[in-house]
Structure 1
Amino acid sequence: MPFFAGASGQVHYRHWPVPEPVAGMVFLHGMGQHSGHYHRFARALGAARIEVWALDHVGHGLSEGDLGVYGPVPELGQNALLLTEIAEDQRPGLPLVVMGHSLGAAAAIETLGVEPARFRAAVLCGLPRAIAQRPPIAARLPILAVHGVDDRLAPIDAVRSWADAMPSVALREYPDAGHDLLHEPVRHVVTSDVVDFVLGTVQG
């Protein structure tokens, strides 16, 4: 099982390689989850020749740390950038996209604030309300935000306002869907939208 030395301990990650990839994704899960919950999503992206690397946040999955205690978000962003270095070393020149769900979306935004040039685009799923209520980020790369209209953990109104203030953000809304879009009945549509966005960004 692969690990790397993270900001505050050993971080476990998974890698789903594909032959002749056209893009790569660094994926960051949400609170209470781990990278193993996303095998199905990674396989779907692999079918479109998008290679995936995903870590377990500190305190989650097989990574070190107290169970469920994830640490400061800037450290999560630092770990995401360390995983990005691994992806870059393994696939030199492959265009990379960062995607995060909920807590992972907050970590993804952290990476965009530090080193946006490392990525071709970003996908934010279930953006937390606390993040959506902050000022827009300065990164100008294409961003796809996917959000359930019935999300009770992170109500969509704050995300709509955040996206309206960011010309580079495209917000995709899903009626009758809640917070965990990639594990709900709408997951097939969400996955297809993410694939189309990634391919359109790297091939357009």
Structure 2
Amino acid sequence: MLFFDGARGRMHYRRWPVDNPIAVAVLLPGMGQHSGHYHRLARTLRGIDTEMWALDTAGHGLSEGDPEHPGSLAELVADATMLVESVRTELPHRPLVLMGHSLGAVTALAMLGAAAPDPASAADMAKVEADWPVTPSVPADALTGLVLSGVPKRALGGGVPGALGTPLPRDLPVLAVHGAEDRRAPIDAVKVWTARHETVDLREYADAGHDLLHEPVHARVAGDIADWLRGVVVGLARQR
């Protein structure tokens, strides 16, 4: 079993090794999930020679903590950043793609300083500034791509003129996958957000809800993620 010492206790993660991988993906699960729920995605990514690492959020899976209170966004970012740093140490020359579902997607955006409420919808921007990380914890040039699944509206203010935080890098490829029938994070918000970012590719899945990788469409979603990731990595190789 794989652990590291986080600021609030021992954090568990899983790794699905690949010999000589073309890339490595770091996955941050959503609330109520853990790394053990993502074996199917890891198997799909292994099919394109991509190694996956996945974190157990504090209080979830085998990580220490309270499952009802996984931590503030700053604490979640700190835990996830430690895992990314471990990946970069272990596989320093492999393209790195950050992936997040729901709360994990919020955390992934916050690692880039880009998770912030829309100023028009935030009642107290001073409190928002205190509670939401606005400075990247992971350098933008450390990532080859970003995959977001079921990202909630509350983190989609990035890119609005005058919003807090750091804008997404203009040259960072982003894939957003979202269920058309998502009731927990309705798709309308991510459509508006996508329109503000030229590098975001939004894939909408009809008759699918919030947890795309565990619904009947899971194989198609995983295949789309793998195809997109391979395209991004191949495109990077051609630029070099």
Please report the TM-score for the alignment, with normalisation by the length of structure 1.
0.96
**What amino acid does structure 2 have at the position aligned with 1:144?**
L
1:123 — aligned with what?
Answer: 147
1:112 — aligned with what?
Answer: 112
User: Cα distance, 1:108 vs. partner?
Assistant: 0.6
1:170 — aligned with what?
Answer: 201
2:167 — aligned with what?
Answer: 138
**What amino acid does structure 2 have at the position aligned with 1:107?**
T
Deviations along 1:32-69, one digit per CA (max 9) or x if unpaired, are 01000001111111111110011101111111111232
Q: Distance in 2 between matches of 1:121 and 1:111?
A: 13
Deviations along 1:71-109, one digit per CA (max 9) or x if unpaired, are 011221221111111111221201100000000000110
Aligned residues: 203
Question: Are residues 1:183 and 2:201 paired?
Answer: no
Structure ID, larger Rg: 2
Moved over 2 A (4+): none
Q: What is the aligned-residue RMSD (CA, Å)?
A: 1.1
User: Which secondary structure does the structure 2 equivalent of 1:110 belong to?
Assistant: helix
Cα pair 1:60 1:68 within 8 Å, conserved: no
Q: Distance in 1 between matches of 2:99 and 2:214?
A: 15
1:44 — aligned with what?
Answer: 44
Q: Distance in 1 between matches of 2:30 and 2:189?
A: 19
User: Cα distance, 1:135 vs. partner?
Assistant: 2.8
Cα pair 1:58 1:70 within 8 Å, conserved: yes
1:93 — aligned with what?
Answer: 93
Unaligned runs of 5+ in 2: 114-135, 160-165, 236-240
Cα pair 1:99 1:108 within 8 Å, conserved: yes
1:197 — aligned with what?
Answer: 228
Please report the TM-score for the alignment, with normalisation by the length of structure 2.
0.82
Cα pair 1:120 1:142 within 8 Å, conserved: yes
* Stretch of structure 1 that moved more, 25-34 or 164-173: 164-173
User: Cα distance, 1:201 vs. partner?
Assistant: 0.9
1:33 — aligned with what?
Answer: 33
Q: Distance in 2 between matches of 1:195 and 1:64?
A: 31
Q: Distance in 1 between matches of 2:142 and 2:111?
A: 9
Q: Taking every aligned residue pair, what percent have the same amino acid on both sides?
A: 52
1:157 — aligned with what?
Answer: 188
Q: Distance in 2 between matches of 1:170 and 1:92?
A: 27
User: Which secondary structure does the structure 1 equivalent of 2:112 belong to?
Assistant: helix
